[in-house]
Amino acid sequence: MSQLRSRAWEIGLSLAILGVLVATPPTTAADPASKYFYDDKGQIVREEVDSTGSGRTDTWITYKDGKPVLQAVDTGKHGKPDTWYHLTPDGQVARAEKDQNLDGKPDVWTIYEKEVPVKAEQDLDFDGKPDRYIYFEKGKPVRAEESVKRDGKITLWLYYDEAGVLIRDEEDTKGIGRATVFSYYQDGKLIRREEDTKGTGRVDRWSYYDKEERLIRREVSRSGSGRPDVWAHFENGKIVKQEEDLLGRGRPNVTYFFQAGALGRREEDTQGVGRVDLIEWYEDGKPVKRQQDSRQQGKIDVVSYLRQGQIERQEVDTKYEGRYDLVRFYTNDRLVKEEYDTNGDGRPDIWAYYDEKGDKVLQEEDTEYDGKVHVRFRFEGGRVVSKEVVSARKSDGPPRLLTPKSW
């Protein structure tokens, strides 16, 4: 963006200079003092003018057949001319040349018709060849073309309003012979940019800017359908929210929330029914907590705690009563242990243990709800292979069922 902005600024500068070229007719100001030079026939050939009475020549006029044909002007007290006006026999400006970098060679060329500029060429890298062409109507620029790479190949097209203010430009950023970036301006400032980032001929990114040209919203079509499926929102140049349509329904079902530019929370409506059923909390770019409404009934019933992106503990409200009665423990993302409070007294009374393959190997039960293990079942290949009664009044049942462990 800064590149284009600086380009807009360059245009502003050059237009201001062209404005000076237009506005400064070859006449002299107050207290002019002229020295005239003649040939041996007594005809005037040259005039040196100190137009401000400063004691220094700032305008050099060349005459031919008694008429001025070239006026060279020092517009900035450089001691040498930096602007040249070529005059018609009736004294009108036909062409003007300007040396912006003061290397003695012109780098802006302007053609006039009836004292009004119609076309200008500008050499932006001062290699003697023009890189920008500006077209005027009624003395105001209406259109410009530019070789962004300064290699003579036109890749930027600029358009101006009636006041000569930039309203739109189009740039071929991929060198494919057609524009891929379209920028729109208001009061000379960038307000919207559309981009064909893949060069397919279809816009897939839209950016919107505030009055300070700061990005406020960006929409992206990841699917390439031409319709946005990602919407990012910015404040003070920083992202605050990003919405995504993962289900292809034309409306977002995932929202990312940022604080100070860092992701803090992600909300997802996994079924696209208009209700969030998955919330993830982030720290340092990694999820640390995940809340799920696994039954799609508007209430969180599974909470997972993560470290370094891996799940460490999961709490489940198996009865959907607003109480987490099942706790799962993980090591290296693998379930190793479950604790289940079946009677709602706040203390676990079933403990299950799992091996590397995810198979249950042991289940212990506190059948008396006194905090002690009373029955112990051992498993192999998902089947009970032994039962050990530690001490129990009712000890004749099978292992009690835990909720399915797959969430």
* Distance in Å, CB of 101 to Ca ion, minimum: 5
Per CB under 5 A, 321 contacts Ca ion: no
Q: Does 146 sit near Ca ion (CB under 5 A)?
A: no
Q: Does 325 bind Ca ion (CB under 5 A)?
A: no
Q: Cα 317 to chain center, whole Å?
A: 42
Phi-psi region of 240 (alpha: psi -120 to 50; beta: other; left: phi over 0): alpha
Residues 6 or more apart whose Cβ sits within 8 Å of residue 100: 17, 82, 107, 108
Which of 47, 131, 245, 364 is in the footprint of Ca ion by CB under 5 A? 131
Q: Please give the structure tokens belonging to residue 55.
A: 């004691």
The span from the CA of 14 to the CA of 101, in Å, is 12
| 400 contacts Ca ion (rule: CB under 5 A) | no
Q: Quick check: 82 binds Ca ion (CB under 5 A)?
A: no
Stretch touching Ca ion by CB under 5 A, among 75-83, 119-127, 204-212, 296-304? 119-127
Pick one of 58, 123, 196, 315: the residue that binds Ca ion (CB under 5 A): 123
Stretch that binds Ca ion, among 77-85, 89-97, 104-112, 351-359 (CB under 5 A): 104-112
Site string for Ca ion, 341-370 (x = CB under 5 A): x-x-x-x-x---------------------
For 171, the enclosing helix (H) or strand (E) is strand 166-171
Distance of CA 260 to the CA centre of its chain: 17
Q: Which residue has the tokens 């960006």?
A: 218
Stretch that binds Ca ion, among 128-136, 171-179, 286-294, 356-364 (CB under 5 A): 128-136
By CB under 5 A, residue 129 contacts Ca ion: yes
β-pairing verdict for 44-50 and 59-64: antiparallel
Q: Which is nearer to Ca ion, 99 or 245 (CB)?
A: 99
101 sits near Ca ion (criterion: CB under 5 A): yes
Shortest separation between residue 213's beta carbon and Ca ion, angstroms = 27
Measured between alpha carbons, how far is residue 173 from residues 9, 170, 202, 256 in Å? 19, 9, 14, 30
Q: Which region among 91-99, 136-144, 212-220, 244-252 touches Ca ion (by CB under 5 A)?
A: 91-99
First-residue to last-residue Cα distance in the chain: 46
User: Sign of the CA dihedral 15, 19, 22, 26?
Assistant: negative
Shortest distance in whole angstroms from residue 343 CB to Ca ion: 5
Please state, in angstroms and as integers, the Cα–Cα distance from residue 164 to each residue in 112, 187, 344, following that order.
17, 10, 77
Tell me the residue type at 251. R
Q: Report which DSSP code applies to 27.
A: -
Q: Kindly state whether residue 331 participates in binding Ca ion, applying the rule CB under 5 A.
A: no
Q: Which stretch binds Ca ion (CB under 5 A): 9-17, 70-78, 279-287, 333-341?
A: 333-341
The footprint of Ca ion (CB under 5 A) covers: 99, 101, 103, 105, 107, 123, 125, 127, 129, 131, 341, 343, 345, 347, 349
